[in-house]
């Protein structure tokens, strides 16, 4: 049963990872009606928070649904700690699976490990501060998750995410030697959920036991579980590994919610069910909008978007159709010379017209 729960968890997180990869491929090749990685990254909501409170338009590449996702993960962390990291996050799963390629791991010396764990909090502050200061997704070019999501673009990923790609390769290689290297030291979202998890009623608890030490030895976040009665560490990602490896978990160790023991399988079902169930309800109520509806949908429903909601991945023709303007009017409003063909991507106009900046133009004409 114990191994089965571990296997079920791996299948669940594997399916989520595959789903997100598929969504990103659809976004790249199927257009703006599929959400971009930026729009479905909860941290984007934190970066957007300032603009949101100030009543300004969302940061480039983000949607109101990104805010919904951010608030959902915060509430989720309040109840279920870092279960998002252990049971849902596709990026964490990528590192977990990659790390399985090498069985024997190195132990980071404590005097390096401890200060390094604070790095993710520094990054959380820096990224939020810079996003609020610059009113852009400042971290995007350095973001290994964004680089991962754009790998499917082929060589193009080098143009936009070269640094992010280098960081991605580095953290993937490091995760061969140190479990979830990125989650431990670099992830700003993990840092945020780690702070919130401190007050969550969801905890791993251990009773006096035979002290075999397997829980500590197998914890991917290197928490000394065998020395804790309640795991209060902000590093615990609620993966349940310490429970799976315990020779008698029923007696010695388990998940507790408001001091009530919860079966690990039920934890997977509840956390994944609550998270995706909430997203589906929010989607049905229109609160989880993370992409532009397809042109067919816009035309069918007559709900045209504003210039401010245009995406660089749309062609000029798509831009005209989705804003409900004639192609000539669209060229005029966007100040694009007619020599640029209508199948040109809006973000590529600058490569043809020197000095043209789609994003500046979009902000200038946002309400039209």
**Contacts with ligand SF4, residue ranges (CB under 6 A):** 85, 89, 91-92, 182-183, 187, 189-190, 204, 219, 221, 223, 225, 231, 236-242
* Both tokens assigned to 81: 């700690």
Of 132 and 182, nearer to ligand SF4 (C-beta) is 182
Instruction: For tokens 């009606």, name the residue.
Output: 33
Containing 253, the helix (H) or strand (E) segment is strand 253-257
Distance, CA of 59 to CA of 270 (rounded, Å): 33
Of 254 and 319, nearer to ligand SF4 (C-beta) is 254
* Both tokens assigned to 29: 């090749």
7, exposed or middle or buried, with CB in 10 Å at 0-12, 13-18, 19+? Answer: exposed
* Both tokens assigned to 254: 């388990």
Least distance (Å) from ligand SF4 to the CB of residue 94?
Answer: 8
Instruction: For tokens 């969801």, name the residue.
Output: 202
Of 85 and 149, nearer to ligand SF4 (C-beta) is 85
Least distance (Å) from ligand SF4 to the CB of residue 32?
Answer: 25
81, exposed or middle or buried, with CB in 10 Å at 0-12, 13-18, 19+? Answer: buried
Identify the three-state secondary structure at position 234.
coil
Are residues 164 and 146 in contact, defined by beta-carbon separation less than 8 angstroms?
A: yes
* Both tokens assigned to 269: 């079902």
| CA atoms within a 13 Å half-sphere pointing along the CA-CB vector of 192 | 23
Of 223 and 295, nearer to ligand SF4 (C-beta) is 223
Least distance (Å) from ligand SF4 to the CB of residue 309?
Answer: 28
Are residues 64 and 58 in contact, defined by beta-carbon separation less than 8 angstroms?
A: yes
Of 257 and 356, nearer to ligand SF4 (C-beta) is 257
Instruction: For tokens 């017209």, name the residue.
Output: 353
Alpha-carbon distances of 262 from 4, 113, 219, 255, rounded to whole Å: 16, 31, 19, 5
């Amino acid at each position: 049963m114990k191994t089965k729960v571990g296997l079920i968890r791996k299948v669940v997180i594997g399916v989520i990872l595959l789903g997100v990869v598929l969504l990103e491929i659809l976004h790249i090749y199927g257009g703006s009606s599929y959400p971009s990685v930026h729009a479905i990254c909860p941290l984007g909501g934190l970066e957007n928070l300032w603009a949101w409170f100030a009543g300004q338009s969302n940061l480039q590449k983000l949607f109101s649904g990104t805010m919904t996702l951010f608030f959902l993960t915060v509430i989720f962390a309040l109840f279920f700690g870092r279960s998002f990291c252990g049971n849902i996050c596709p990026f964490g799963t990528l590192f977990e699976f990659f790390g399985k390629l090498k069985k024997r791991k190195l132990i980071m010396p404590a005097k390096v490990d401890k200060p390094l764990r604070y790095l993710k909090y520094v990054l959380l502050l820096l990224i939020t501060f810079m996003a609020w200061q610059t009113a852009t997704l400042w971290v995007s070019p350095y973001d290994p998750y964004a680089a991962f999501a754009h790998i499917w673009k082929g060589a193009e990923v080098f143009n936009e995410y070269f640094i992010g790609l280098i960081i991605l390769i580095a953290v993937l290689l490091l995760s061969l030697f140190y479990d979830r290297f990125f989650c431990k030291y670099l992830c700003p979202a993990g840092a945020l959920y780690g702070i919130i998890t401190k007050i969550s009623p969801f905890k791993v608890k251990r009773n006096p036991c035979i002290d075999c030490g397997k829980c500590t030895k197998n914890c991917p976040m290197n928490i000394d579980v065998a020395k804790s009665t309640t795991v209060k560490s902000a590093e615990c990602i609620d993966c349940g590994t310490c429970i799976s490896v315990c020779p008698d978990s029923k007696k010695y160790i388990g998940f507790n919610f408001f001091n009530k023991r919860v079966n690990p399988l039920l934890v997977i079902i509840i956390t994944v069910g609550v998270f995706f169930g909430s997203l589906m309800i929010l989607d049905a109520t229109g609160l989880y909008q993370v992409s532009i509806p397809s042109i067919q949908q816009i035309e069918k429903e007559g709900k045209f978007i504003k210039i401010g909601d245009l995406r660089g991945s749309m062609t000029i023709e798509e831009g005209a159709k989705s804003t409900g303007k004639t192609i000539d009017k669209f060229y005029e409003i966007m100040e694009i010379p007619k020599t640029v063909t209508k199948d040109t991507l809006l973000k590529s106009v600058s490569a043809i017209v020197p000095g043209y900046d789609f994003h500046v133009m979009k902000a200038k004409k946002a309400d039209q």
